[in-house]
Structure 1
Amino acid sequence: MTSRKRPNSDKSAKLNPHLPSKKVAKSVAKEAVPSAKISYSIVHAIPGRIRFRIPLLARDAEYINKIKSVMESDKRVINVRANPQAASIVINYKVGVTPDRQMREHLVSLIQNAQDLAAPKEVTIKSIVRATFDALINLIDSTRKINQARNVVVYRRFRTDIWERILFTSRSIIKKLKSATMFFLPNKRWRLYGNDEMKSQPLQLQAVSEGDAV
C-alpha cells in the first residue's frame, strides 16, 4: 500500500488548531485599521502666530465654522482667519501664556477633533429680545384661545367680550413694539462658553466685535 503525504499546511493546522484561517485573518486586519485622521501641514509658524494648511477646509464649510468657533473659544487665541480657497487657517494667540510647542500641539488636537467638539453658541441682543416678544405673543394667543373656548361653553357661541378685546389690542401693541425695537437695536453679539473647565462656574458672555462675526 502506498501512503500519501499530507500537505504541510494540514500538519501545521493539526499542531496549531487555534490558528485563524486566511479569511478570518483578513477580516481581523480590516477591522484593526484605524480611522483616517484629518490631514494638515504647518505652513508658517512664529511665536504668537501659526498657519496650517488643511485640505478639508476647501470642501467642508461646516468644518470651517466648527474649527473657528472652537479655536476662538480658547482664551489664549486672539483671532482666527480661515481661507477656504487656499485651504489654510491662520491663528494668532497670546505669547508667554503657554509655551509655543504646547500651544501648537493643542491647536493640532483641535484640528483633529473639531468635528466632534461642541462649538460655542452665539447670541445677539436682537435674538434675546425677539424671543421675549415671541413668548409674550404666544402667551396672549394661548389666553385668547382659552377665553374663546370658555365663551363657547357658556354662551353656546363665539362672543367678543371685554377680555377678547383687551387681549387682541395687547397683541397688536406688542407686535408693533417688537418691530420698532428690532429696527433700532444694535446687532451686537456674545458667545456662550460651556467648556469642561467651566462646568462648575456660571455661563459667561464675551462680546464679539462686528468684524469677527462671520
Structure 2
Amino acid sequence: MTSIKRSNYDKRLPKRAAKSVAKKTAPSQKIFYSIVHTIPGRIRFRIPLLARDTEYTDKLKLAIESDPRVTNVRANQKAASIVINYKTGVISDNQMREHLVHLIQTAQDMVMPKEVMAKSIVGTIFDALINLIDDTRKLNQARNVIVYRRVRTDVWERILSTSRSIIKRLKSATMFILPNKRWRLRGNGKINSQPLKLKSASEPDLV
C-alpha cells in the first residue's frame, strides 16, 4: 500500500511543478506592429495598441527616449503611430530597428518612474517653513503665559509674525513664476537628474 501511494504522488508531482513554472514564466501579450516608413536616421511604426492604451504609449515613449542614440520621439495616438529619429553612424539601421522592435514588445513590462511637479516640491518647502514658524509662535506664547501670566506681543512674536507674512507672499510669487516642470523620481524618493534607467517589472530591486 505504501509503495503504491508513493508512486502515485511521484507521478503527480511533475505536473504540479510544471503548472507552477508555467504561471511564473507566462509571457506578456504580443504587441502587433508594422513599419510604415523608414530611412537612415528615421523610422515610423504603426502600433494599434497606441490608439487604445495611454499607459502603454507613455511607457513606450519613455523607454525609447531613454536611449541616448534617439534624438526625437513623436507618438500620435489617433493615428496609432510613433516616429523615432536617431543618430546615424552610431548603430546600423537594421540593429536600431531590431532594438526598437524589442522595446515595442517589452515596454508593457516597464515600471514607470514616479513623477512630481516642481511646484509641489517648492510649495511643500514653503508650507513646512510656515508650519515651523507657527509652532515656534505657539511655544513663545506658552512661555509668555508661564512667565508673565498672560499672552503678550513681544519682539519674538513680531519677528515671527512678520516672517510668516513674508514667506507666504514669497510662496505666492514663486508659485506664479515657477514653470510646470516635472521631475522623475527613483524608487528611493530622491530627485534624479541623470538619464532614466528603466527596469523590467520582473527584475528584483537591489538593496
Alignment TM-score, normalising by the size of structure 1:
0.63
- Unpaired segments of 5 or more residues in structure 2? 187-191, 196-207
Matched ranges for 1:40-55 at <5 A: 40-44=32-36, 45-55=38-48
* Contact 1:48/1:95, CA 8 A, preserved across alignment: yes
* 1:39 aligns with one of 28, 31, 39: 31
The aligned amino acid for 1:39 is I
- Equivalent position of 2:132 in the other structure: 139
Q: Which residue of 2 aligns with 1:91?
A: 84
2:107 aligned residue? 113
**How many equivalent residue pairs?**
182
Contact 2:35 2:46 in 1 (8 A): yes
Match of 1:3 in 2: none
Partner Cα separation in structure 2 for residue 38 and residue 159 of structure 1:
73
Q: 1:147 to 1:140 in 2, by over 3 A?
A: same
Give a deviation string over 1:133-155, Cα, whole Å, max 9, x none. Answer: 34433332332233234334444
Separation in structure 2 between the aligned mates of residue 205 and residue 136 of structure 1, nearest angstrom: 29
SS, match of residue 43 in structure 1: strand
Alignment partner, residue 69 of structure 2 = 76
CA contact (8 A) 1:80 1:90 kept: yes
Q: CA deviation at 1:172?
A: 0.9
CA distance in 1, matches of 2:27, 2:99: 20
- The reply on whether 1:100 has 2:93 as its aligned counterpart is yes
Cα distance change of structure 1 residues 145 and 130 upon mapping to structure 2, 3 Å threshold: same
Partner of 1:4: none
Equivalent residue, structure 2, for 1:9 = none
1:1-214 to structure 2, matched below 5 A, reads 18-20=10-12, 25=15, 28=18, 32=22, 34-44=26-36, 45-111=38-104, 112-119=106-113, 121=115, 124=118, 129-185=122-178, 187=179, 189=181, 204=193
Q: CA deviation at 1:96?
A: 1.5
Percent identity, please.
56
- Give the distance between the partners of 1:128 and 1:144, measured in 2 at CA: 25
2: distance between equivalents of 1:116 and 1:41?
Answer: 18
> Which amino acid counterpart does residue 36 of structure 1 have in structure 2?
S
Question: Whose relative contact order is higher, 1 or 2, with alpha carbons under 8 Å and at least 6 apart?
Answer: 2
Opposite residue 35 of structure 1, the aligned amino acid is P
Match of 2:202 in 1: none
Structure 1 unaligned blocks of 5 or more: 1-12, 195-202, 207-214
Post-superposition offset of 1:76:
1.5
Two-structure CA RMSD over aligned residues (Å): 3.8
**Residues 1:188 and 1:147: Cα distance change in structure 2 (over 3 Å):** same
- State TM-score, norm by structure 2: 0.64
Closer, same or farther: CA 26–99 of 1 in aligned 2, 3 Å: same
Q: 2:107 corresponds to which letter in structure 1?
A: N
Rounded Cα–Cα distance in structure 1 between residues aligned with 2:125 and 2:152: 30
